[in-house]
């Protein structure tokens, strides 16, 4: 049961990033414009899309999940600080805290790794 819950947790925490990576890819120009509105160079969208698509897939299948989780944790913290720092806006504060919470979830994977239903355990 623990192994199934571990896999389910990896799917749940990864789904948001996988879907957002696909959305950013399909709405590339709009996302670049949005990022540049925060002073972030649009060229950084390419590594962002790669991280948001490849990282969650690695975590879900359990291959190099610790490394992927570490990068996604750092990404969540950076995203919170850069894009959700207007604490006078309750929505932004909520988004900031959600990003920090997700960073914590990814840190948990980074520290503990995956259970038996993963490629890392099979290799």
Residues 14-37 pLDDT 10s: 999 999 999 999 999 999 999 999
Q: Is the pLDDT of residue 123 over 90?
A: no
**Considering the domain boundaries, does residue 123 fall inside one?**
no
* 103 part of a folded domain: yes
User: What six digits make up the tokens of 19?
Assistant: 């879907």
In a domain, 63, yes or no: yes
Distance CA 45, CA 23 (A): 12
* pLDDT tens-digit series, residues 57-87: 999 999 999 999 999 999 999 999 999 999 9
pTM given for the model: 0.93
Q: How many domains does the chain have?
A: 1
The answer to whether position 36 is within a domain reads yes
Q: Is residue 76 part of a domain?
A: yes
Could you give the C-alpha distances from 2 to 98, 104, 114, 117, in angstroms and in order? 25, 20, 11, 10
Domain assignment present for residue 100? The answer is yes
């Amino acid at each position: 049961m623990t192994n199934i819950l571990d896999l389910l947790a990896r799917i749940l925490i990864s789904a948001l990033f996988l879907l957002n990576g696909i959305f950013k890819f399909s709405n590339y120009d709009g996302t670049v414009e949005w990022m540049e509105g925060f002073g972030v160079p649009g060229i950084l969208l390419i590594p962002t899309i790669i991280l948001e698509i490849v990282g969650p897939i690695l975590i879900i299948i359990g291959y190099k999940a610790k490394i992927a989780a570490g990068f996604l944790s750092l990404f969540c913290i950076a995203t919170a600080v850069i894009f959700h720092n207007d604490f006078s806006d309750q929505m932004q504060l909520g988004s900031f805290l959600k990003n920090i919470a997700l960073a914590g979830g990814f840190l948990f994977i980074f520290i503990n790794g995956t259970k038996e239903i993963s490629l890392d355990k099979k290799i």
